[in-house]
Structure formats: C-alpha cells, structure tokens
Amino acid sequence: MGKKVDLAWAKQFGNLELLARQMVEGFITGLHRSPYHGFSVEFAEHVLYNPGESTRHIDWKAFAKTDRLYTKRYEEETNLRCQILLDVSPSMFLPKPNQEKLTFSVLGAAAIMYMLSKQRDAVGLTTFADKILSQSQTKSVSSHIHKLLTQLELVMQSEPEATESSLPNVIDLIAESIHRRSLVVIFSDLFMDTDLDTLFNSMAHLRHNQHEVLLFHVMDHRQEIDFDFKNKPYLFIDAESKKQIKLYPEEIKEAYQSKMKQQNQAIKLRCGQMKIDYVEANTQLSFDQILLSFMTKRAKMV
C-alpha cells in the first residue's frame, strides 16, 4: 500500500487538480508500469486503416509521407462514460474536525477524474443527500474536468445540510438519466433510513439498464468498525436524524461490532450476487485501494 494522505492537510491545501495528479502519478510509479498505453495525447498510436471504416480519423500527414492510410488511436471515440455519485449527507462529514469520510471521498473522486481525463474518457459528477443536489453533463474535455474538480473543492469546504441520505431514490433517477452502459462509481457510507432490500432494488435498476457499478463503502474503521472510544460517558448524536443517546461505549461495543459485521457482510453478499464491485474504503488507509479497484474495473470494461 502507498503512503496515506494526511486528510487534514489535504482539506487545507485545497488544490484538488494538483493533489489528484500527485496521487495518481505516485500510484502509477508504484506499479512500475503505465496503464495509459495508447491513450496519450502527445503520441498518436497509428493503426492501419481498413477499407469501409469512417475516414474521419485518417492521418493525412502520415498518408502524404508513407502513401499508406493510418488512423490515430488517440482520436477515436471516448472509450468509457463514467458517472461519479458522491454522498454529501451529514454523516459523511464525520469524523470531525476534518470531515474525514467526505474529504477522503472527494480526493478519491478527484483522482479517478484525473485518471479518466488522461485516458480521454468522459466523466460526470452527481452530488446527493436526500435528493440529487447537482448533476453535471458527462464529457471528456479538459475544461469540463477542471470545472468538476473546482466543484469538488467547494464540496470539501462546505458544511452539511440537515438532511438524510436517500441513495436508493437517487440511483433510480440516475439509472434512467445517464447513457447506456456507463460505469457508475458510488462514494457513500451507506448510512440510510432504508433497508437493504430497498437499496438493492435500486441497484438492480442500474444493472438492468446495463450499467456497471463500483461501490466504495466509505468508513472510518477506528470509530465505525472498531468502536474505539475511551470508556467514559459519551453523548452520541445521529448526524442525520439528530437522535441522541448517552452511554458508556464498553456497554454496547460487542453488540455494536456484531451488528456492523452482520450488516457489512450482507452488503458484500448482495453486491456479489448482483455482480457489483464492492470496496470497503477505509479512510485510515492509502488511496491505492481506490485507484487499484478503479483500474481493475475499467480494464474489465474495455
């Protein structure tokens, strides 16, 4: 695994375009090989023109020099259309003060956008809580990517709205509104006031419409899985419903961990049954978990 990014520093730094480039280039260097072969805008990989194909991408300069017809690989149509869904409901702004789940998700989304832009793929961004808050077009041009990264910077510096997450409703809307056979990448902690049947009925809608799905289940393992709190009285407040409960963590730790384990295993199982790529995205780890999962998924789609 690569080096963990300091989320507090990243939130202060703010320049997502630079951070995303550094994260991706560091990751690629660690792999000792580039996944961008054939997608560079600096080098056109030529392939022989086949009679009957469109002449739109023929390199006429190469024809003048060689008297043979070639097309430029990098000028071909966009290979992939990707829609990133980012949960910005109040629970994603925890743990404080660095809003770690949201900051982690924003950085992960930015790094994926950078990778998509280098491969000339099209990307769109949807932010949501109880409803869709913003939804961009899906484009591959650099000005569009820059606009999305600027939007993510604003999201990272924002304050939560007092609304609960409604991922199933959002997914149903997205399933109908985006291009067929898109890759839908979801960043969410999956804290919702709905059951798993409702969630996966909406996921089935995505799959029925021939979309591929990559789900990043974003969690702060120290608090949300390990329940690592000192054994003293705490007032726990639900970030979305605002319900409160006062207790000693040790009194419920075992039952809490058992319930969380059961819930997460059920999510993994349902994802496996529906051929949805599920990633437990631990904010305590490096972004290699995000980038490697994305690269693996993309490789399956080309």
In angstroms, the CA 140 to CA 80 distance is 10
Q: Which segment of 25-34, 113-122, 220-229, 244-253 scores lowest on mean pLDDT?
A: 25-34
- Residue 74 pLDDT: 45
Q: What is the mean pLDDT of residues 223-241?
A: 90
- Assess whether pLDDT exceeds 70 at residue 101: yes
* pLDDT, the chain, mean: 86
Contact assessment for residue 85 and residue 170, using Cβ atoms and an 8 Å cutoff = yes
Q: How is the chain split into domains, by residue range?
A: 7-32+79-301, 46-75
Four-way CATH pick for 7-32+79-301: 3.30.200.20, 3.40.50.410, 3.40.50.2020, 3.60.9.10 = 3.40.50.410
CA atoms within 13 A on the CB side of 35: 21
What tokens does 235 get? Answer: 């007032």
For the chain, state the CA radius of gyration. Answer: 21
- Residue 194 pLDDT: 84
In 3D space, the residue among 198, 196, 218 whose CA is nearest the CA of residue 262 turns out to be 196
